[in-house]
Amino acid sequence: MFVRQFTRQASSSSALTRLLKRSAVKSETVKTTRLRVVVPAGGGGGGGGSTVPVLQQQQQQQQRIQPQPSTTSATSTTPSASTSSLKSEVLRLRDSVSKTGDVVVLLVQVGGFYELFEYAQPVEMNLDAIAQLLDLHISKESASQPRMCGFPLASLDRYVPRLVAEANVRVAIVDQVTKDHWSPTKNFSRAVTRIVTKGAPLLTSVSDESAEIELHHGNCFLLSLAVLPAQSLNSPIRIGLSWTDISTGEFFVFESSEETLESDLTRISPSEIVTCNENSMPPAIFKTIRERAEIAGIQITHRPHANDPMFCIKQCEHVQARLDPMNVLRHSLKATDFATKALSALDSTQNESTPRLLGQNTTVPTLFAAGALFAYLNELFCGLEPHFNYTSSNSVTSGPDICATGIMHIDSATMTSLEIVKSIRDHDKKGSLISEINQTKTSQGERLLVSRLKSPSTNIQEIRRRHNLIESFHSLPASSPLLTETQRHLSQIRDLERGLQRLHLQSAKPKDVILLLQSLEQIQTLREYLLDFAEPNSNNDLIQLVKRLSPPMDVVNEYKGLFTETNTITNTNDDADVVDETSVLPGSVVQGMGASKLLKGKIWVPGTIGAGISEELDLLKNKKVECENKIEELKNKLTQQYGSEVALVEDPRDGPCISVKLKDNVTDLVEADKSIGKIHRQKHATKKKYTHAKWTQLFNMYKAIQDQQIQTELRIFEEACQKIRNKTPEIIRTSEAVAELDVTVSMAFIASKWNYVKPEMVEECGLELKESRHPVVENMQLLRSNSYTSNDAALNQDTRTWIITGPNMGGKSTFLRQIALIAIMAHAGLYVPATLAKIGIMDAVYSRVGASDNLAANQSTFRVEMQETANIVKRATPRSLIIMDEVGRGTSSQDGLALACGVLERVLKVNQSMCLFATHYHELPLLLAHQMGVGPEGSVEGTKYKRTAIRFMGDGNFTYCYSLEDGVSESSYGIEAAKVAGMPSDVIEVATKLQRVLLHMRRKDEKALGELLLAL
């Protein structure tokens, strides 16, 4: 065998080479400066071979990115890149990128590193701050070198996400784009090839398991917002929303309003919002966006131009009356082919598959928001064309973009207080509803479950369909293996949507394609397995779902043997030590040693494409094996001829040469060979290098064959990728069916494990529950080996409101939350924790539970409470469910009691909503009765009084009784709760004495209040 080694080329300039060498990484010592490739003696040609870096993606980028006025396409050829010319080049690119939005950090490729130059960074994020955040060492400034820090190309996925997430900035990646990788010249261009933001993160390959696990938890949405000003004094402001998860291609549009914008942003949960600047937007709208961004950590990107037609539609108000908005947008986007092409997919005259989406959601504001989103993405991806799934079935039946009458309204306060996706305490999924009921096995399944919980449906037919699907699996006998077998198949299916998007963005590796094809094959197996079950049982809903599992098996069968498993699945050893250029490696084949340290890990292993795929490729592999045999013969011949060990190597300066181990008289024997050429520059005392004519000839032959093999394999790989891309609609439909099946099976498993029940959904307003439980608290109690006390609930036309009193820690708040969660779960199409559930369709769930402030907005706890309460009583309808806990507690008892009574009166008279109202104001029933005109001894129509209690033991201790019973509690037992909490005994003693006095005074006050109310 021979060892081929090369030095990483930073550039043709010695100045840049010095820059590269001086750049240090504090937290990561990089040993690898050369890549060695071992060519085996003999072997199969396909499985072995050398690992060669291939700039396929950069070649494609060079074809896309040409020097032109486009702000993200600015390039500059650097045949002789000095420090000054590099600086001027970087500054030009920085200026062009800064026009596309807010703060941008510039990462510049210099050879094998990404460098952050001090002069190129924004004032808001200087080099010292960046280095501290990323734990990088800053090199000292000199006459020939600016202050800078950097990291290896292969660490891009490690540092950029941290920079974007923690510093809340955008990162522009400037790459060296080789004009011709196979050319011996070293000229290249630099171009901005990607701008990374919170809403458009790096798409890590599926081979990066840690990134895949992180992405598995949900969507990462990029949202654009366009405002259509009011057309008259009485007309409302219209707000267009358009958002996408660039990693999956999911795309949605929706028209919001000033009143619902905050809750819409909550349920969408974007990572980034792109919109016009503050001066071009109504102040109230901007305030809502800013406050939501501060709470949720959303990145806001402002378009730099006040008159940007994509966002400020003042100049386009005539569109509705006289012009087709599509034509206006096409004119505005004429310089961006990608945006125009993407927007055309929304035009029903051009795409027959989109009228359903257009008919429900696409209005003038949403159309402009979509156009703005596409234009922005064109800048971020620098000409690459992502795939967008415009007609997702989830978007029509269960996603967050269906019409307003089709989803249950849940505002941000309710989403937070009910802890649907995050717990209040840790702001993490642990302790939330999703953490307890999520048993999905696929990424797409988890995303769909989260989407359904954040945007429950109000379409009764759709809800019943989901319930029926769960029943198909939940009703199986305990001995049936169908549930576990289906979950086993699902667990072997990877994220099809993200894998497909990598293909569209030309960032896919062979492993991505392999796992995509394997997943499609697994889906076909699952389809056949489920059809055998579904058809005999005549379950029409399940049959329809299973038939949607329709992977394109023609492509799967065609490329089943495309790759050799060894070269595509086995990970390379990136941290292997590298010897100097004249060392000899023992053994036979060492693949990919240090390979991913080069060229951002974009490597191609010759032999990746399997045998029998191409006659041309098989012929090249045979030639390569013949050449390898000749090389081995030459090595053995020279070793025997010289009587010393000989290694065939490639020196980075001297090219192909032989390395001979020095022994007695070996020098004379070697130099007597006429094929030998002397190399005067020697580094080793025990070895000596020479050129050899035969070895040079064989080396050039081998290199030519291998280069041709790589190009042939790349062509075959790209053809396969293109055929898979052509099957995008079928794969997307299949992925959606996988997601729904996963959610269905997951809930069937949960229902069996925790004894959940199928809710009966009815059109009438109301709610009836038997033995209902809180899905999260119940599991926590069981983990502590404690029992959970269930409760009934009944709200209907006759009794729309329950007023609940009882002791602190008596379970009132838990009961309120569990009823709200059950209503949301039922509308999401899930089973619920109860023994019986009959639930009418609700348009909204509102929650005023818990205490919190907003100091950043200068809002006290009471202010926040009043704002949330006001929002509820202004928007709730007879079809809404309201839960309120201790309204008015943040102020004096007199003010709080008065406010609580006023709120209840409005809910009963105006809103007429279903309401659960927990309070510690024991005078409230008396005051409310007077306000409702029934007298102090009467009962208010439509209300019931419920209470929890405590039971005192003989020894003076007590226990909580969490069961609800009729009546009004006489005490809140706050002193008893304080005692349990560990309050010192002297405090308890004083409080008990004072309680007797205050209780006596209260009874007098109640009597006086009754007399006063009678007099009124």
Q: What is the pLDDT of residues 159-197, one digit of tens each?
A: 999 888 888 888 999 988 765 444 444 567 788 888 999
Cβ neighbours around 227 below 10 Å, total: 26
Cα→Cα distances 97→147, 188, 203, 372, 920, Å? 21, 20, 21, 17, 59
SS3 347: coil
- CB atoms < 10 A from the CB of 125, how many? 18
Q: List the single range of 114-128, 397-411, 659-673, 695-709 with lowest mean pLDDT.
A: 397-411
Looking at residues 366-375, what average pLDDT do you find?
82
Residue type, 608: T
Fill in the amino acid letter for 915.
C
Q: Which residues pair with 176 in a beta bridge?
A: 190
Residue 195 near residue 105 (C-beta atoms within 8 A): no
Cα–Cα distance for residue pair 62/180, rounded to 1 Å: 9
Among all chains, which residue has been given the structure tokens 């502590």?
A: 784
User: With contact defined as beta carbons under 8 Å apart, do 947 and 969 qualify?
Assistant: yes
What is the Cα–Cα distance from 411 to 420, expressed in whole angstroms? 12
Residue 834 has pLDDT above 80, yes or no: yes
**909 Cβ partners below 8 Å, 6+ apart?**
932
Give the residues across from 882 on adjacent strands.
Answer: 846, 915
- 239, β-bridge pairs: 227, 256
Mean pLDDT of the 462-485 span: 89
- For residue range 163-173, list pLDDT tens digits in order: 888 888 889 99
Q: Provide φ and ψ at 347, rounded to 5°.
A: -90, 115
Res. 393: pLDDT tops 50: no
Which of 309-313, 629-633, 696-700, 822-826 shows the lowest mean pLDDT across its residues?
309-313
Q: Is residue 1009 very low, low, confident or very high in pLDDT (cuts 50, 70, 90)?
A: low
> Residue 130 has which token pair?
């960046």
CA angle, residues 757, 758, 764, in degrees to nearest 5 = 120
How many degrees, rounded to 5, is the angle at CA 234 between CA 228 and CA 236? 30
State pLDDT tens for residues 933-991. 775 555 788 899 998 887 777 666 777 888 898 988 877 778 877 887 888 888 888 88
Q: What is the CATH number of domain 614-721?
A: 1.10.1420.10
Res 488 pLDDT > 90: yes
- Which pair of tokens denotes residue 506? 């030309």
- What value does the mean pLDDT take over residues 241-268? 89
Determine the average pLDDT of the residues in 479-500.
91
Give the pLDDT confidence of 838-868 residue by residue, as tens digits. 999 999 999 998 765 444 455 677 888 888 8
Query: In 10 A of CB 297, how many CB atoms?
Result: 11
The sign of the dihedral angle between the CA atoms of 203, 209, 210, 215 is: positive
d(CA 727, CA 729): 6
Res 976: pLDDT? 79
The domain over range 15-30+52-202 is classified in CATH as 3.40.50.720:
no
Domain range list for the chain: 15-30+52-202, 217-408, 614-721, 755-971, 984-1016
Check residue 445 and give its pLDDT.
Answer: 94
pLDDT for residue 400: 38
CA–CA separation, 945 vs 939, rounded Å?
A: 9
pLDDT on residue 799? 93
**Residue, of 241 and 587, whose pLDDT is higher:** 241
Among residues 927, 964, 961, the alpha carbon closest in space to that of 944 is found at: 964
Q: Which of 51, 162, 211 is nearest to 574 (CA)?
A: 51
Task: Name 393's Cβ contacts closer than 8 Å, sequence gap at least 6.
Answer: 733, 736
φ/ψ of 563, rounded to 5, equals: -110, 150
Distance of alpha carbon 13 from alpha carbon 186, whole angstroms: 10
The candidate with the shortest Cα–Cα distance to 245, out of 23, 490, 451, is: 451
Asked if 617 and 713 count as a contact pair (C-beta separation under 8 A), the reply is yes
What distance in Å separates the CA atoms of residue 809 and residue 820, rounded to the nearest whole number?
A: 19
pLDDT bucket at 37, cuts 50 / 70 / 90:
very low
Token pair of 787 as six digits: 């029992």
At 720, list the tokens.
């396969």
CATH architecture for the domain at 755-971: 3-Layer(aba) Sandwich (3.40)
Closest C-alpha to 229, from 192, 280, 265: 280
Q: Which of the residue ranges 90-94, 120-124, 486-490, 909-913 would you say has the lowest mean pLDDT?
A: 120-124
Distance CA 657, CA 682 (A): 12
Q: Which of 72-86, 235-249, 296-310, 611-625 has the lowest mean pLDDT?
A: 72-86
Q: Is the pLDDT of residue 575 over 50?
A: no
pLDDT band at 101 (very low <50, low <70, confident <90, very high): low
Quote the percentage of the chain above a pLDDT of 70: 73
Alpha-carbon gap, residue 842 to 915, rounded angstroms: 12
Sheet holding 646-651, edge to edge: 34-39, 2-7, 646-651, 655-661, 687-692, 676-678
Amino acid 611: pLDDT: 85
Between these two residues, 27 and 414, which has the higher pLDDT value? Answer: 414
What pTM value is reported for the model?
Answer: 0.80
Neighbours of 260 (CB within 10 A): 16
Distance CA 410, CA 414 (A): 6
What's the chain's length in residues?
Answer: 1016
Output 309 or 226, whichever has higher pLDDT.
226
Distance CA 382, CA 391 (A): 25
Q: Is 858 left (phi over 0), alpha (psi -120 to 50) or beta?
A: left
pLDDT at 820: 97
Residue range 379-396: average pLDDT?
Answer: 68
Query: 660: which 2 tokens?
Result: 């001979």
Report in angstroms the alpha-carbon separations of 226 from 281, 296, 313, 584.
9, 21, 8, 64
Q: In one letter, which amino acid is 952?
A: F
Smallest CA-to-CA distance from 500 within 217, 243, 722 is with 722
CATH 3.40.30.10 applies to domain 217-408? no
List Cα–Cα distances, 411 to 80, 158, 998, in angstroms. 59, 35, 40
DSSP secondary structure letter of residue 8: P
Between these two residues, 683 and 640, which has the higher pLDDT value? 640
pLDDT above 60: residue 9: no
CA-CA distance, 915 to 903, in Å (whole number)? 11
How far apart CA 530 and CA 510 sit, in angstroms, is 30
Residue 325 near residue 331, CB atoms below 8 Å: no
Which pair of structure tokens corresponds to residue 413? Answer: 């306060």
Biggest CA-to-CA distance, the chain? 129
Instruction: Check residue 1003 and give its pLDDT.
Output: 64
Torsion, Cα 64 68 70 72, to 10 degrees, reads 60
- Give the model confidence (pLDDT) of 703-749 as tens digits: 999 889 988 988 999 999 999 999 999 999 999 999 999 999 999 99
Q: Which two tokens stand for residue 276?
A: 């016009």
pLDDT of 75 strictly over 50: no
What mean pLDDT do residues 908-919 have? 93
- Out of 278-287, 416-425, 607-616, 1006-1015, pick the least confident: 1006-1015
The DSSP output letter for 911 is I
Q: What is the mean pLDDT of residues 513-529?
A: 94
All residues at 6 or more sequence positions from 494 whose CB lies less than 8 Å from its CB, including other chains: 206, 442, 443, 515, 516, 518, 519
Instruction: Report the chain's mean pLDDT, rounded to a whole number.
Output: 76
pLDDT attached to residue 975: 82
The residue type found at 403 is C
Instruction: Specify the residue for token string 């306060």.
Output: 413
Kindly report, residue by residue over 278-336, the tens digit of the pLDDT. Answer: 777 888 899 999 988 988 889 998 875 544 545 544 444 433 433 455 555 555 555 45
What span, in angstroms and rounded, lies between the C-alpha atoms of 296 and 289? 11
Q: Is 206 exposed, middle or buried (0-12, 13-18, 19+ CB in 10 A)?
A: buried
Local confidence band at 339 (pLDDT 50, 70, 90 cut-offs): low
Cα dist from 731 to 346, 419, 549, 632, whole Å:
20, 34, 9, 48
The residue-averaged pLDDT of 676-689 equals 71
Residue 873: pLDDT over 60: yes
On whether the CB atoms of residues 846 and 883 are closer than 8 A, the answer is yes
Decide if pLDDT at 157 tops 70: yes
* CA angle, residues 314, 320, 324, in degrees to nearest 5: 105
Q: Is the pLDDT of residue 768 over 90?
A: yes
